[in-house]
Amino acid sequence: MSTPDIQTVLKRIHEILRRHPGDSADWLDSVIERYPEDEPGFYQALNSKRMWGGAGSIANQALADNPGMDKTVWHEEIRQFRELMIELGNHLRERGNAYPDISSWLLAFSNWNQSGV
């Protein structure tokens, strides 16, 4: 997957995060703006604890509480979020030197989506 494709994935993730409480959407927006002027910094941010660590990370938004959306819409949005994060994580692993928690998140996202959680 190319970096322009990842830009599209990130923009879709950003759209979802805008409906979540907190500053995750703002942080991701600042990361997206780094490319192409600072490609190493762009990828460093995508491989960071803020993106893939535990509580407070972007990946952890898959466990966020519904902010009051229709239950069916919320469920579909979280499923899409997980799919997008899987695409991003796979891209980062293909590039090498990926954040250590990515593999665990990808497995969890895949399992959750397959089970319909």
| Residuewise pLDDT in 10s, the chain (117 residues) | 666 599 999 999 999 999 888 899 999 999 999 998 999 999 999 999 999 998 889 999 999 889 899 999 999 999 999 999 999 999 999 999 899 999 999 999 999 999 876
Name the pTM for this structure.
Answer: 0.92
Place of tokens 């923009």: 11
The tokens describing 1, both together, are: 């997957």
| Residues 66 and 74: beta-carbon distance below 8 Å | yes
Most distant CA atoms of the chain, gap in Å: 40
